[in-house]
Amino acid sequence: MSNLCNLIKTKTRYKKDNAIKHYVKNYNEVPIWIILNFIDFGQINTLFYCLPISLLNQIAKNCLSFVHENRIQ
């Protein structure tokens, strides 16, 4: 989790505008879908490792529903 905090701090210090900087400046928080654009699979794995099982199960159910509704094969 500290790596994600460091990522947000680093991206907000960039001179160049980016989505993280925008959300911190305007909303004082960054949505997860924005953060996911800036992290790699290892960091996503670490993030998921920290989540409670009940939330992981809900994420899995939502992903499965999305696949069925959109007929992704």
Q: Do 46 and 35 sit in the same domain of this protein?
A: no
Q: Do 24 and 4 sit in the same domain of this protein?
A: yes
Domain region containing 12: 1-39
Q: Do 33 and 45 sit in the same domain of this protein?
A: no
Question: How do residues 16-60 score in pLDDT, each as one tens digit?
Answer: 778 988 998 899 998 989 988 888 898 888 888 888 999 999 999
Helices 19-27 and 2-13: angle between axes, nearest 10 degrees: 90
- Please tell me the total count of domains within the chain: 2
CA atoms of 25 and 48, how far apart (whole Å):
26
Check residue 65 and give its pLDDT: 92
Q: Do 50 and 35 sit in the same domain of this protein?
A: no
CA atoms of 45 and 42, how far apart (whole Å):
5
**Residue 8 to residues 18, 34, 40, 45, 64: CA-CA distances in angstroms?**
11, 10, 14, 18, 30
Check residue 72 and give its pLDDT: 63
**Residue 47 to residues 17, 27, 36, 42, 43: CA-CA distances in angstroms?**
25, 22, 10, 9, 6
pLDDT band (50, 70, 90) for residue 61: very high
Q: Is the pLDDT of residue 62 over 90?
A: yes
